[in-house]
């Protein structure tokens, strides 16, 4: 027997549809008109749903065209109700001639003035015989629409992974959730999504970023609260990190103390680090769709290690500071895929190494801590992508070098671990709010103090801390921090390799990737471990 799970709030791509009486026509007809953000061409269909079993008792379906602005208008007989309105999702070129045609649909029980097909839906709408219909929507009156729901719809419409359109991703989300888990599978079967698998993006950094970017504004408090609630609810459907530890293709140039960045299209970029010959600027790109490293981005302009790096929208990459044979660096660059080059930007006002960089929902980059020639730093700065300027913010409560920084699902930043001031290798951390620019509570200390570890946000909204170094030596230990309960779970299968100075990435299918580092023998390694 099929099982269904209630999803209290599932916000999908914004769609406005209105149904109202048209006086110029007979009383037996109504005008259905609306607009979709998804498509700018194609066919809209209103199809009768028979409740008598007699398909000839009422008209079957009526079709109309979607214009270049995404608008449509159909004159339909009142007798066609109850009906389903169906809108196509145009597939990218890589999806053509596939055995499925995903589309969006919503149930219209009866003609009602100012009816809007809302963006609110739930898993109870997904019946076993209608899962193929894609995203099902509930009908709402126009007066019930609010700004917050519009913003959420816009956020979903901006999500794109690996060139797949937002409409197809939204369809994949519903297919994914139909079995009650956000695991990229539909009852154990892979969901076809162009030439790729279905991304398990629910409650991951992809969905979180789309929601937080859209609601990151001083006048968006209600929308931001709603977005955070959605992310928390989605996280309940994401499966926890499992016990599989699988070796992957290693880096072609083994190295430690480099940077690892996940691009918005799901690719992972390894930059710089210390290799056997010395500090390098080597760049390698991992494709999660081929599971191979590629040379598709030029090397960094400088040999660099211990640099602060963060992804930017549009597959751009931010890098600042670091260390090489000339000393501690302040130079900063942004890689642009449009030019295929690393472009120099304003340098960090303070040369530093071992800092962390976090990409914020507003598009800027937060750089925290590190080490300068004068010692360990609590310095917190924000680089504005729009103005190209640095702004000094309130310092972190503790100075840290070699720590970790993670953007949480609620839009706040966790900064923890590393070498803390006079206290040595640390397991403590603090929460920073980018909206109020205030450092908040100190989190429950980790059971495993770590220096030169790595951290990543998991699909369920928790934070994985991996490997690193402490007084017990180089580690292979994994811990998970739950921001909701402010607690730790250490009962995890360890990494395959003991290492420090490594990087971590979350892939579109929910796998966690640990890359490179220095092993217990002091050797730079290129090994890759997948956790799932």
Per-residue pLDDT tens over the stretch 251-303: 999 999 999 999 877 899 999 999 999 999 999 999 988 899 999 999 999 99
Res. 428: pLDDT tops 80: yes
Other C-beta atoms closer than 10 Å to the C-beta of 421 total 15
Considering the chain, what percentage of its residues have pLDDT values greater than 90?
49
Other C-beta atoms closer than 10 Å to the C-beta of 444 total 15
What DSSP assignment string belongs to 247-266? Answer: EEPPPSS--BS-EEEE-TTS
Looking at residue 22, its pLDDT comes to: 41
Q: Which residues pair with 316 in a beta bridge?
A: 312
Looking at residue 116, its pLDDT comes to: 45
- The listed range with the strongest mean pLDDT (131-135, 222-226, 395-399) is 395-399
Res. 55: pLDDT tops 70: no
**What does the alpha-carbon distance between residue 235 and residue 281 come to, in Å, rounded to a whole number?**
37
CB neighbour class for 496 (10 Å; exposed up to 12, middle 13-18, buried from 19):
middle
Distances in Å between the alpha carbon of 254 and those of 270, 466, 526? 11, 19, 4
Q: Which residues pair with 104 in a beta bridge?
A: 87, 135
Res. 19: pLDDT tops 50: no
Average pLDDT over residues 335-349: 97
Q: Look at 115-124, 241-250, 474-483 and tell me which has the smallest mean pLDDT.
A: 115-124
Q: Look at 127-131, 390-394, 493-497 and tell me which has the smallest mean pLDDT.
A: 127-131
Look at 168 and 235; give whichever has higher pLDDT.
235
What DSSP assignment string belongs to 332-355? Answer: EEEEETTTTEEEEEPPPSS--BS-
Looking at residue 235, its pLDDT comes to: 76
Look at 32 and 304; give whichever has higher pLDDT.
304
**What does the alpha-carbon distance between residue 230 and residue 9 come to, in Å, rounded to a whole number?**
7
Domains within the chain, CATH numbers bracketed? 10-235 (no CATH), 253-462 (2.120.10.80)
Res. 93: pLDDT tops 80: no
Band of pLDDT at residue 159, cut at 50, 70 and 90: low
Res. 21: pLDDT tops 50: no
DSSP at 164: B
Looking at residue 382, its pLDDT comes to: 98
CA-nearest of 505, 501, 524, 503 to 513 is 505
Looking at residue 149, its pLDDT comes to: 56
| Upstream peptide bond of 82 is cis (omega within 30 degrees of 0) | yes
Contact between residue 101 and residue 62 where contact means Cβ atoms under 8 Å apart: no
Contact between residue 498 and residue 475 where contact means Cβ atoms under 8 Å apart: yes
**What does the alpha-carbon distance between residue 447 and residue 126 come to, in Å, rounded to a whole number?**
43
Q: Which helix (H) or strand (E) holds 231?
A: helix 221-235
Per-residue pLDDT tens over the stretch 29-39: 888 877 665 55
pTM for this one?
0.81
Looking at residue 304, its pLDDT comes to: 98
Phi and psi at 168, nearest 5°, equal -65, -35
């Amino acid at each position: 027997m099929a099982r269904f799970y209630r999803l209290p709030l599932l916000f999908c791509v914004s769609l406005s549809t209105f149904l109202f009486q048209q006086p110029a026509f007979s009383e037996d007809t109504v005008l259905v008109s609306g607009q979709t953000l998804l498509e700018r061409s194609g066919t809209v269909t209103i199809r009768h749903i028979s409740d008598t079993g007699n398909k000839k008792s009422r008209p079957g379906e009526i079709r109309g065209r979607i214009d270049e602005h995404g608008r449509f208008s159909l004159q339909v007989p009142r007798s066609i109700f109850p009906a389903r309105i169906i809108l196509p999702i145009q597939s990218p070129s890589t999806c053509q001639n596939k055995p499925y045609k995903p589309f969006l649909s919503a149930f219209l029980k009866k003609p009602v003035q100012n009816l809007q097909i809302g963006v609110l839906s739930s898993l109870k709408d997904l019946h076993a015989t209608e899962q193929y219909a894609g995203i099902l929507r509930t009908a709402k009156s126009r007066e019930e629409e609010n700004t917050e729901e519009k913003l959420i719809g816009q956020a979903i419409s901006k999500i794109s992974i690996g060139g797949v359109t937002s409409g197809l991703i939204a369809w994949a989300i519903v297919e994914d959730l139909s079995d009650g888990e956000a695991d990229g599978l539909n009852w154990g079967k892979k969901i076809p999504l162009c030439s790729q698998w279905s991304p398990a993006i629910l409650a991951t950094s992809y969905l979180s970023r789309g929601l937080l970017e859209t609601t990151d504004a001083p006048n968006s408090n209600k929308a931001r609260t709603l977005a955070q609630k959605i992310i928390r609810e989605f996280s309940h459907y994401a499966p926890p990190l499992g016990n599989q530890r699988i070796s992957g293709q290693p880096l072609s140039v083994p190295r430690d103390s480099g940077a690892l960045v996940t691009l918005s299209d799901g690719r992972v970029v390894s930059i710089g680090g210390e290799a056997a010959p010395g500090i390098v600027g080597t760049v390698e790109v991992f494709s999660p769709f081929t599971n191979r490293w590629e040379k598709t981005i030029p090397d960094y302009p400088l040999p660099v290690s211990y640099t602060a790096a963060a992804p930017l929208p549009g597959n751009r990459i931010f890098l600042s500071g670091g260390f090489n044979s000339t000393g501690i660096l302040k130079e900063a660059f942004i890689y642009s895929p449009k030019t295929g080059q690393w472009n120099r930007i304003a340098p960090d006002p303070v040369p530093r190494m071992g800092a962390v960089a976090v990409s914020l929902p507003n598009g800027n980059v937060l750089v925290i801590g590190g080490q300068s020639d004068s010692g360990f730093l609590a310095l917190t700065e924000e680089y504005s992508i729009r103005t190209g300027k640095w702004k000094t913010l309130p310092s972190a409560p503790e100075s840290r070098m070699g720590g970790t920084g993670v953007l949480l699902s609620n839009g706040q930043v966790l900064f923890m671990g590393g070498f803390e001031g006079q206290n040595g290798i640390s397991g403590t951390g603090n929460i920073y709010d980018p909206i109020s620019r205030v450092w908040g509570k100190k989190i429950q200390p980790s059971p495993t103090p770590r220096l030169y570890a790595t951290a990543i946000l998991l699909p369920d909204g928790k934070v994985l801390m991996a490997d690193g170094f402490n007084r017990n030596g180089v580690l292979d230990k994994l811990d998970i921090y739950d921001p909701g309960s402010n607690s730790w779970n250490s009962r995890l299968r360890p990494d395959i390799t003991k290492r420090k100075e490594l990087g971590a990435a979350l892939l579109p299918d929910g796998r966690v990737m640990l890359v490179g580092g220095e092993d217990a023998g002091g050797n730079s390694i290129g090994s890759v471990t997948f956790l799932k």
